[in-house]
Amino acid sequence: MSEAYISVENVSKRYETEDGIVTALEGVDLSVGAGDFVSIVGPSGCGKSTLLRMVAGLESPHSGRIRVDGDVVSEPGSDRGLVFQEATLYPWRTVAENVRFALEVDNVSPTTADRRVSELLSMVGLADRANSFPAELSGGMKKRVGIARALAPDPEILLLDEPFSDLDVATRESLQQDLLELWKRLEKTVLLVTHTVGEAVRLSDSVVVLQGEPGQVATVVDVDLERPRDPETDSFKPYVNTIRGRIRDRSRAAVSAPERPRSSYP
Ligand code: ADP
């Protein structure tokens, strides 16, 4: 990984609930270089979404701090675009109007906004659906609108929380491919939360494994494979095995240096 662009420094997060205090994350350190594609994996409840929401500025750490390009994150900003599992589009607005909304709040002139919306819709392969309403779109198309909307203010960072988890395999793979192309072409920094280890290995420069309750970084695995990556190859599978092994291995929730796949895997 290159020099830290997103830096998570000894971050802990507690929630106060009716049943008492829930510590979602404890002492998390993480460094993401500018232009890197990093995924966060780990069992349900280990704090993946909480971590992403804190980088987004939607939640604050209980202790520690998060910095983006040197500045401490205290609120959401146009430097960070967000894509959630639910596309949450406005049903009464067309596709173009949904994307345009992200620009209206930024006070962009109507002509610039029109140009930008067309550009974004072409980028995500929806140029011909500009006037459709969300109800007329497939699940994959809705995700594409969500991605176009997140990219509208031209953020440096794209934060995605399990964006493809409810899609069929073919649609999911096609969106993964498109996300990779956008990442390369637009030179964004991507932080992706996913519960699918294969997806993380296919897409990422490195995969952060969170583990435990409260969640801690169990390990960071750098994926040293040429893209495009084929999950069926012998070089791909050891990464998946290593990461799955760390997710299962609850006793080893300790911070460690970036690791390579274990040589004992085929
Ligand atoms: P993951 O994304 O890995 O499934 P989350 O970040 O959603 O995990 O949740 C981590 C822990 O924090 C869980 O125990 C969850 O119940 C708790 N949590 C998350 N958000 C809230 C909230 N708004 N209020 C109370 N507890 C929360």
Q: Which of 22, 52, 85, 193 to mutate to test the pocket of ligand 1 (most atoms within 8 A of CB)?
A: 22
- Assess whether 166 and 75 both reside in one domain: yes
214 Cβ inside 6 Å of ligand 1: no
Cα(41) to centroid(ligand 1), Å: 14
Please give the mean pLDDT across all residues of the chain: 91
Task: Indicate which residue's Cα is closest to atom 6 of ligand 1.
Answer: 47
Tens digits of residue pLDDT in 175-220? 999 999 999 999 999 999 999 999 999 999 999 999 999 999 999 9
Query: Coil, helix or strand for 231?
Result: coil
How many A from CA of 62 to the centre of ligand 1?
14
Q: What is the largest CA-CA distance in the chain?
A: 59
Number of domains in the chain: 2
Instruction: Identify which of 82, 190, 87 has the alpha carbon closest to the alpha carbon of residue 145.
Output: 87
Residues 62 and 163 in one domain: yes
Residues 233 and 104 both lie in one domain: no
For residue range 50-95, list pLDDT tens digits in order: 999 999 999 999 999 999 999 999 999 999 999 988 878 999 999 9
Over residues 119-147, the pLDDT tens digits come to 999 999 999 999 999 999 999 999 999 99
Question: How do strand 4-17 and strand 216-222 relate by DSSP bridges?
Answer: unpaired
Quickly tell me which residue has 């084929």 as its tokens: 230
H or E segment and range at residue 33 = strand 20-33
pLDDT for the residue 143: 93
- 164 with 225, same domain: the answer is yes
- Is 95 part of any domain? yes
Examine the domain organization and report whether 68 and 164 are in the same domain. yes
Looking from the CA of residue 44, the nearest atom of ligand 1 is 4
Same domain flag for 120 and 170? no
Residue 245 falls inside a structural domain:
yes
Q: Is the domain of 51 the same as that of 70? A: yes
Shared-domain flag, residues 132 and 49? no
pTM of the predicted protein model:
0.92
Above 50 in pLDDT, residue 265? no
Residues 130 and 38 in one domain: no
**Do 46 and 31 belong to one domain?**
yes
Closest ligand 1 atom to residue 50 Cα is 6
Q: What is the CATH number of the domain that holds 57?
A: 3.40.50.300
Q: Are 124 and 149 in contact (CB under 8 A)?
A: no
Q: Which atom of ligand 1 is nearest to the CA of 213?
A: 14
Overall average pLDDT of the 114-118 stretch: 95
For 107-147, what is the HEC assignment?
A: CCCHHHHHHHHHHHHHHCCCHHHCCCCHHHCCHHHHHHHHH
110 vs 108: CA distance, rounded Å: 6
Say if residue 143 is in the same domain as residue 192.
Answer: no
Kindly state whether residues 52 and 145 are assigned to the same domain. Answer: no
Residue after which a domain boundary falls, among 99, 134, 154: 154
Boundary (domain end) residue, out of 122, 154, 186: 154
Is 84 domain-assigned? no
142 located within any domain: yes
Residue 34 to residue 188: CA distance in whole angstroms: 8
Is the beta carbon of 16 within 6 A of some atom in ligand 1?
no
Per-residue model confidence (pLDDT) at position 259: 52
Q: Is 62 inside a domain boundary? A: yes
Last residue of a domain, one of 102, 123, 154: 154
Range of the domain at 136: 89-154
Could you tell me if the CB of 47 is within 6 A of ligand 1? yes
Q: Does residue 44 sit within a domain?
A: yes
Mean pLDDT for 166-173 is 92
146 vs 140: CA distance, rounded Å: 10
From 13, 15, 159, give the residue whose CB has the most ligand 1 atoms within 8 Å, as the site to mutate: 15
For ligand 1, whether the C-beta of 50 sits within 6 Å is yes
